Amino acid sequence: MTFPVIAVTSGEPAGIGPDICLSLAGHGLPCRAVILGDLGLLQTRAEMLGLPVTLHPYQPGQTPPPGSLEVLHIPLSSPCRAGKLNPANAGYVLQLLDTAYQGIRDGRFAGMVTAPVHKGVINEAGGPFFSGHTEYLADKSDTPQVVMMLAGGGLRVALVTTHLPLREVADALTFDKICSVSRILHHDLQHKFGIAAPHILVAGLNPHAGEGGHLGREEIDIIEPALARLRSEGIDVRGPYPADTLFQPFMLQDADAVLAMYHDQGLPVLKFASFGKGVNITLGLPFIRTSVDHGTALDLAGSGRADPGSLKVALETALQMAQAVFPANAQQ
């Protein structure tokens, strides 16, 4: 029997990425999780944490020993110490992503899970500006638009706008933007989650969803026309609903996802329900990519106090998506 092979990039080497990747040993999922990272770094961190982990070099087509953790060795550019950032390793961090992406293109990996990176230290190293995993992978795959969705606590929340100052959000909400984000969300719920007819609830922008135009006209002028267009295309979008009453069990009971207008409209609710067990999913890419819902936590690296819960859920989610995309498990 064959299982999907999921690449797991270990992220910033000075952060908790290596620590939480080591926790995947013996996780027991019906997939092969291959850690991309420096073997020596992972071995040193395992010893620091007192983890009796057996690291096994990844070989396509070969079954690893039971209980071992498969590692695709990518050497560090420079020595690394837990908790101490080193810009010399920026190229190493990007090579992890490049290798995972190439492995997906070659058919060796069914998808990738990414441990956190530190954008600041990558940019300190020079070279093209690095704004994050999502943008980097979109550029590499020539993907014109991606959508950020977080899942956890029984919720899926996608965002029309992401990391914008609040005063810029209203101007960024356009008819075309709402339509294109909704189409990507609908498509990926069908094709990456196996939901035949997704039901999507849409939040309004303003308090009380604008209260008939008395608290803002974005709902009347932009959001409602966009949703009408989407419905004419056969996409089941409902709303716009006031955000303060949308996230209730009776509203969500038959919903497959919520579309929020901005970052802090939808994500505080989801993170309250799932923090430490949530997963970040990039929609719109021509491959499966999930990530943790937290940062590098430099102060916890090597301490044994890092919570691996989000990484494990991200791996489980990538596996579920791989099983929807590759139902025959036709991987090595």
pLDDT in tens, 122-145: 999 887 888 889 899 999 999 999
Neighbouring C-beta atoms of residue 57, cutoff 10 Å: 12
Please state the rounded mean pLDDT for residues 228-239.
98
| CATH topology agreement for domains 1-140+285-332 and 144-283 | yes
Homologous superfamily (CATH) of 144-283 is Isopropylmalate Dehydrogenase (3.40.718.10)
Nearest of 187, 188, 181 to residue 203 by alpha carbon: 181
pLDDT in tens, 293-326: 889 999 999 999 999 999 999 999 999 999 998 7
Q: Which of 274 and 306 is assigned the larger pLDDT?
A: 306
Spans of all domains in the chain: 1-140+285-332, 144-283
Q: Is the pLDDT of residue 86 over 50?
A: yes
pLDDT in tens, 53-70: 999 999 887 888 877 899
Residues 108-126 as b/e (b if ≥16 CB within 10 A, e otherwise) read bbbbbbbbbbbbebbeebe
CATH topology of domain 1-140+285-332: Isopropylmalate Dehydrogenase (3.40.718)
